[in-house]
A and B are shown apart, each in its own frame.
Chain A
Amino acid sequence: DIQMTQSPSSLSASVGDRVTITCQASQDISNYLNWYQQKPGKAPKLLIYDASNLETGVPSRFSGSGSGTDFTFTISSLQPEDIATYYCQQYDNLPITFGGGTKVEIK
């Protein structure tokens, strides 16, 4: 199985700050990497697909980059409504696997 190592597991930042989350795959997954946002009590929401493509309707402050084994997710200017847990997910090989999540809080 492909292991997805996400870091940090939690972070606290101020409104307007740039926030970066990393995800490392245990083997090359090309660009088969997606990012989700999950707010408490809600289903996950797709933000970024295929490493760097912004899902329709998602604000442009969210972005993703990377390929192979190392990926980055960025919020360019943190907003109060971005408080959530973020997950990466690979779909290069079954089983599909998710990173452990990053909980983003406001400082």
Chain B
Amino acid sequence: EVQLLESGGGLVQPGGSLRLSCAASGFTFSSYAMSWVRQAPGKGLEWVSAISGSGGSTYYADSVKGRFTISRDNSKNTLYLQMNSLRAEDTAVYYCAKVFSVTVTTDAFDIWGQGTMVTVSS
């Protein structure tokens, strides 16, 4: 079964850091680009970052550029999101998502994790 499982969320103070992980199973992880998408409480979906299958190309939303870093370890089938200089407006459920097609970076997201909650508050 194709599955994504996020972890690493929690409560952090403004200015703090957190690293999210997304463990993948059931597919050839290195063949697919991955993204992080977040959803603030009661709000819509916001794309955060994407990474190519090899990890050689990364992309960010302007709202997180310079503060967040996406990476992946294909030997561990795991995607990461390092979040630094966190702000209250980063409070959200963070989902990892797999793209639909091999070799493309942007596409439909056909598999989503269950999400992990990040709360930035003092």
Contacts and interface: CB of A to CB of B under 8 A. Distances in A.
A28 interface: no
A56 to B, nearest CB: 9
B47 A98 contact: yes
B44 A101 contact: yes
Interface stretch (B8-16, B24-32, B66-74, B106-114): B106-114
Given A43-B112, A43-B115, A87 B44 contact: yes
Interface residues of A, number: 21
A99 B35 CA distance: 18
Contact of A98 (B44, B95, B100, B108): B44
B109 A44 contact: yes
B45 interface: yes
B107 A95 contact: no
B105 to A, nearest CB: 8
Interface in B43-70: 44-47, 50, 59, 61-62
A101 B42 CA distance: 11
A35 B112 CA distance: 14
Interface string A3-44: 000000000000000000000000000000010101000011
A55 to B, nearest CB: 7
Nearest to B111: A46
Given A95-B61, A96-B47, A96-B50, A55 B113 contact: no
B108 A34 contact: yes
Interface string A78-107: 000000000101010011111111000000
Interface of B: 35, 37, 44-47, 50, 59, 61-62, 95, 100, 106-110, 112-115
**In the A-B complex, the 7 residue pairs with the closest CB atoms:** A43-B112, A49-B108, A96-B47, A91-B106, A34-B108, A98-B45, A101-B44
Given A43-B115, A89-B109, 15 more contacts: A34-B108, A38-B45, A44-B95, A44-B112, A46-B109, A46-B110, A49-B108, A49-B110, A50-B108, A55-B110, A87-B44, A89-B108, A94-B50, A95-B47, A99-B44
